[in-house]
Amino acid sequence: MAFEFRLKTLLRIRKRMEEAAEMKLSALVLRRDMARKALETEHSRLKEARNHMEKRMAEGIMSDEFQFRWLQIAHLEERCKKLAADLQEAESQVLQARDELARRHVERQLAAKLEQRDLRKYLQEVDRKLQKELDDLASVRHGRLRSMQT
């Protein structure tokens, strides 16, 4: 009689849910990293635009070019704000996904501990049966030896 864990389906489901949570976390971390990179890129573009504006103002700038540069900087600032909000949202989602993964891991560990406990009980029962059979064999042998001596 082989060991059969009674909650095998539950353990398999919990493992799959943990794997799904890991995959979700990986995707969210990738999304967060991409958002961080996009924000860094926009910040560098904004810095370049401001430096260029300052340089042009020192040289003397026409009003239409000034207005264009000012609108460009305003647009880049807005874009940076939006990307910062996106990054913040991505960070929040990563934290939630980490919490979810931790919860799924605990659930799977509980099911795995139940399996280990059931396996120990099964092995103890097998050991008891084996010991009983050995005791019976010893009794029979002892009985035969006694009957042969008399």
How many domains would you assign to the chain?
Answer: 1
Which range is least confidently modeled, 34-38, 110-114, 128-132, 143-147?
A: 143-147
Q: Are the CB atoms for 84 and 35 separated by under 8 Å?
A: no
Largest separation between any pair of C-alpha atoms in the chain: 129
* Residue 111: other Cβ atoms inside 10 A: 19
- Check whether 117 has a pLDDT greater than 80: yes
Domain assignment present for residue 144? The answer is no
| pLDDT given for residue 142 in this prediction | 81
| pLDDT given for residue 2 in this prediction | 86
Task: Report the C-alpha gap between 18 and 28 in whole angstroms.
Answer: 15
User: pTM for the complete prediction?
Assistant: 0.73
Domain assignment present for residue 42? The answer is yes
Domain assignment present for residue 83? The answer is yes
DSSP letter at 140 equals H
User: 78 lies in which domain range?
Assistant: 8-116
Domain assignment present for residue 92? The answer is yes
The CATH number of residue 35's host domain is 1.10.287.1700
What is the H or E stretch that residue 62 is in?
none
Q: From its phi and psi, is residue 81 left (phi > 0), alpha (psi between -120 and 50) or beta?
A: alpha
Q: Which residues contact 8 (CB under 8 A, 6 or more apart)?
A: 115
Two structure tokens written together for 49: 């635009």
Reported as a pLDDT band with limits 50, 70 and 90, residue 45 is very high
Q: Which residues contact 61 (CB under 8 A, 6 or more apart)?
A: 69
| pLDDT given for residue 59 in this prediction | 87
